């Protein structure tokens, strides 16, 4: 437990919700329902259809599961806080939410790195792809990034738990480890040193394979045929869109936690605060569902089959 007299935190950004609380509540419910339905639908489609039991779609399945995990760590909490008159959260629950959201972000970035490496093998080594990216290798890599992310977050939180807090007001819609550390009145030297190391490795570990993969893909595209370039564009476009969207989310998360944004309009502050946990789980299924022809065709076949059955049974 945190070494202080603080037993709860106050989330001050909810004071700006005001009379619009019911509008925000309805919008949040709708967003959460959409996220749950589309992510679960694509997970089921990938798991049920054997033609989608390939490395690319298994990494996608991991991505969709993580999006569900991250949004579940955020949305139910938001719904309760929006309708509540007292916007407080207990210290243990705050740390639990921090663990969920930070591990979600770490897993997301690592998963996107694996997907870029998978695309690199598929485009640069098409004949050796099945030998290099086997089913067992996909399972092991997926387990490793989940365990790695959980362990990283546990270490960070274990250091945060040693701090003495002298305040309990968090200027956000949800719990943030950095904002909690800013409330510390004890020595944060050890935490700061580890924080620099953790932030550097959190960025570099996934970023290096992403940069390596796309440098190799670009090299093949420039020297390859028109068909190779078309294949690269069609397979990499959804991944790049997802990666850019996630990068914007991380940037906005850093922006709203590290800098004073009290001068900005409250609505803009709320949107910036929610981008990290909302846009990625919401857009990923549509990005990959629309752009990836195999998933799109499978969904169409399932939908058309259901409609055909309904017509047959209605006669």
Question: pLDDT band at 312, cuts 50/70/90?
Answer: very low
Contacts of 181 (CB under 8 A, 6+ apart): 160, 163, 188, 191, 195
Most distant CA atoms of the chain, gap in Å: 76
Query: Quick one: residue 18, left, alpha or beta (phi over 0 = left, psi -120 to 50 = alpha)?
Result: left
What CATH class has 8-314?
mainly alpha
- Provide DSSP, 188-246: -HHHHHHHHHHHHHHHHHHHHHHHHHHHHHHHHHHHS-HHHHHHHHHHHHHHHHHHHHH
Query: What would the two tokens of residue 223 be?
Result: 């020297």
Structural domain spans, the chain: 8-314
Cα angle: 87, vertex 88, 92; to 5 degrees? 150
Question: d(Cα 302, Cα 181) in Å, to the nearest integer?
Answer: 49
H-type alpha helices, the chain = 21-48, 55-72, 75-83, 91-124, 129-132, 135-160, 177-181, 189-223, 226-258, 266-291, 293-314
- Whole-model pTM? 0.89
Nearest 5°: phi and psi at 53? -85, 60
- Of the listed ranges 64-78, 210-224, 263-277, the one predicted with least confidence: 263-277
Kindly report, residue by residue over 236-293, the tens digit of the pLDDT.
Answer: 888 888 999 999 888 888 887 777 777 777 778 788 888 888 999 999 998 887 666 6
Q: Which of 143, 70, 80 is nearest to 102 (CA)?
A: 70
Query: What would the two tokens of residue 96 be?
Result: 């639990």
**pLDDT value at position 218?**
86
Average pLDDT, the chain: 85
Task: Starting at the earlier edge strand, list the strands of the sheet with 88-90.
Answer: 88-90, 8-11, 169-170
pLDDT at 3 over 60: no
Half-sphere exposure of 155 (CA within 13 A, CB side): 14
């Amino acid at each position: 437990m945190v070494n202080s007299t603080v037993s709860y935190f106050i989330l001050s950004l909810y004071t700006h919700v005001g009379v619009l609380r019911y509008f925000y509540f309805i919008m949040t419910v709708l967003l959460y329902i959409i996220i749950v339905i589309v992510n679960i639908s694509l997970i089921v489609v990938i798991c049920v259809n054997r033609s989608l039991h390939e490395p690319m779609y298994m990494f996608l399945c991991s991505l969709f599961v993580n999006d569900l995990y991250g949004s579940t760590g955020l949305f139910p909490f938001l719904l309760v806080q929006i309708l509540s008159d007292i916007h407080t959260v207990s210290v243990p629950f705050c740390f639990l939410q921090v663990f969920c959201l930070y591990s979600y972000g770490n897993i997301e970035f690592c998963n996107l790195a694996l997907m870029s490496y998978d695309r690199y093998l598929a485009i640069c080594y098409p004949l050796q792809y099945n030998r290099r990216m086997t089913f067992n290798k996909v399972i092991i890599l997926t387990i490793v990034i989940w365990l790695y992310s959980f362990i990283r977050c546990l270490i960070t939180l274990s250091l945060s738990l040693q701090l003495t807090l002298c305040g309990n007001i968090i200027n956000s819609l949800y719990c943030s480890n950095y904002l909690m550390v800013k409330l510390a009145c004890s020595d944060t030297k050890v935490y700061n040193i580890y924080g620099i190391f953790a932030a550097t490795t959190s960025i570099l570990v996934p970023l290096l394979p992403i940069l390596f993969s796309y440098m190799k893909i670009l090299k093949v595209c420039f020297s390859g045929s028109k068909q190779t370039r078309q294949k690269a564009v069609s397979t990499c476009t959804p991944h790049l869109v997802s990666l850019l969207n996630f990068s914007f989310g991380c940037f906005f998360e850093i922006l709203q936690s590290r800098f004073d944004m009290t001068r900005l309009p409250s609505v803009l502050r709320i949107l910036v605060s929610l981008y990290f946990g909302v846009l990625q789980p919401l857009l990923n299924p549509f990005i990959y569902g629309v752009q990836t022809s195999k998933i799109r065709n499978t969904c169409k076949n399932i939908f058309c089959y259901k409609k055909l059955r309904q017509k047959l049974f209605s006669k």
